[in-house]
A = this chain, B = another copy of it.
Amino acid sequence: MKTLIVVSHPTLDQSQTQQFLKASAATLADATWHHLDTSMPFDASKEQALVRAADRIIFQFPLYWYAAPASLYQWLDEVWVRSVVYDARGGLLTGKSLGLVVNLGQPARGYQVGGAEGVSLSELFSPFAALARKTGLRMLAPLVIDQFSYQDEATHQKLLVAYQQYLTLAHPAKLSEQADWWLDQLADLADLGDQAELVGQTLATRQETLMHLQETINELKEGEED
């Protein structure tokens, strides 16, 4: 799967979060890092070609005043023109998927009724959901990163994994795809030798057991519904 990471950030070099994400994506052959603020003025047909070549499009940005920075809107207004997006033969975007990777300066728990922000992220992201609906994009649940600089090393490691999975898996929230991803990672670590093979086999066995259990649960559930 080819992924286009559309990054909107006016001061990218100063963002720890974005530098971490950039390094995390750098090892992925099929992920293209595309920073909007340094690609202006936009060449619409060149930008459209980038979108056309991708299977997944990521809008990646810090939340400024409850929305994305200006460059994302400018890019959408100039590049996602109707004549291209609504193509008679199926549209530029139909069948692709859209992900949001959003970092917050405030704690994520503040974004709910009664929270410090008083509004949910789902409400704030509704313009992107409407855009996806209109253009035939399948939307993924957002990957939200809050207060990156306060997070410890273990949390950063988990973020690296979650981000790479978000960029590459058809359904990043599915446990079975996540497990397969780990198996692939281990298979790649050939230089670790016997130990990696052993860990890999154990994981594969556990994954198989997990799938069997899930099937059993599904059968039981079907029984309940009869």
Contacts and interface: CB of A to CB of B under 8 A. Distances in A.
B67 A70 contact: no
A211 to B, nearest CB: 36
A128 B123 CA distance: 11
Copies in the complex: 2
A67 to B, nearest CB: 5
Interface string A113-125: 0000111000110
Contact of A130 (B73, B119, B130): B119
A117 B134 CA distance: 7
A47 B124 CA distance: 26
A127 B130 contact: no
Given A123-B126, A126-B119, A65 B70 contact: no
A108 to B, nearest CB: 14
Contact of A73 (B64, B123, B126, B129): B64
Interface stretch (A74-82, A149-157, A171-179): A74-82
Nearest to A64: B77
A71 interface: yes
B131 A118 contact: no
A80 to B, nearest CB: 7
A74 B76 CA distance: 14
A196 interface: no
Contacts of A70: 70-71, 73-74, 77
Contacts of A67: 67, 73, 127
A133 B66 CA distance: 11
A142 interface: no
Contacts of A119: 126, 129-130, 133
A126 B129 contact: no
Given A124-B127, A126-B123, A130-B118, A77 B69 contact: yes
Contacts of A145: none
Interface of A: 10, 64-71, 73-74, 76-77, 80, 117-119, 123-124, 126-131, 133-134
